[in-house]
Amino acid sequence: MRRIPLKTLAATAALVVGQAASAYDLPAVNLGFTSFLDGAPPAGPGWYVQQYFQFYRNGRLKDGDNNDLRLPTPNGLEKAQLDANISLTQLVYQSDQELAFGGKWGMNVMLPVVGFDLTPEDNLALSTNSGNLGDLLVGPYLQWDPIMGANGPKLVQRVEFQMLLPTGSYNDNDAINPGSNVFSFNPYWAATAFLAPKWTLSWRLHYLWNAENSDPYSPLEAKDSQAGQAIHLNFASAYEVLPNRLRIGINGYYLKQITENKLDGHDLSDTKEQVLGIGPGMVYHLSKHDHLFANVYWETWAENRTEGSRVNLRYVHHFQ
pLDDT band of 21, cuts 50, 70, 90: low
- Asked, for residue 1, whether it belongs to a domain, the answer is no
Question: CA-CA distance, 222 to 227, in Å (whole number)?
Answer: 14
* Interval 92-118 mean pLDDT: 97
Whether 113 has a pLDDT exceeding 70, the answer reads: yes
Least confident of 12-21, 230-239, 289-298: 12-21
Whether 124 has a pLDDT exceeding 90, the answer reads: no
pLDDT at 10: 40
Whether 297 has a pLDDT exceeding 80, the answer reads: yes
Question: CA-CA distance, 103 to 156, in Å (whole number)?
Answer: 11
Q: Which letter, b or e, does each residue of 278-299 get, where b requires 16 or more Cβ atoms within 10 Å of its Cβ?
A: bbebbbebeeeeebebbbbbeb
- Asked, for residue 239, whether it belongs to a domain, the answer is yes
* Interval 94-110 mean pLDDT: 97
Whether 204 has a pLDDT exceeding 80, the answer reads: yes
- Asked, for residue 311, whether it belongs to a domain, the answer is yes
Q: In total, how many domains does the chain have? A: 1
Q: 97: exposed, middle or buried (C-beta count within 10 Å: 0-12, 13-18, 19+)?
A: exposed
- Asked, for residue 254, whether it belongs to a domain, the answer is yes
pLDDT at 15: 45
- Asked, for residue 58, whether it belongs to a domain, the answer is yes
The alpha carbons of the chain give a radius of gyration, in whole angstroms, of: 21
Q: What is the pTM of this model?
A: 0.93
Identify the bridge partners of residue 133 per DSSP, sorted by sequence position.
Answer: 113
- Asked, for residue 25, whether it belongs to a domain, the answer is yes
Q: What is the pLDDT of residues 207-258, one digit of tens each?
A: 999 999 999 999 999 999 999 999 999 999 999 999 999 999 999 999 999 9
| CATH code (residue 173) | 2.40.160.40
- Asked, for residue 76, whether it belongs to a domain, the answer is yes
* Interval 307-317 mean pLDDT: 98
Percent share of the chain, pLDDT over 90:
89
Whether 9 has a pLDDT exceeding 60, the answer reads: no
* Interval 119-144 mean pLDDT: 95
pLDDT at 189: 98
Q: What is the pLDDT of residues 70-88, one digit of tens each?
A: 999 998 899 999 999 999 9
Give residue 25's domain range: 6-318
- Asked, for residue 271, whether it belongs to a domain, the answer is yes
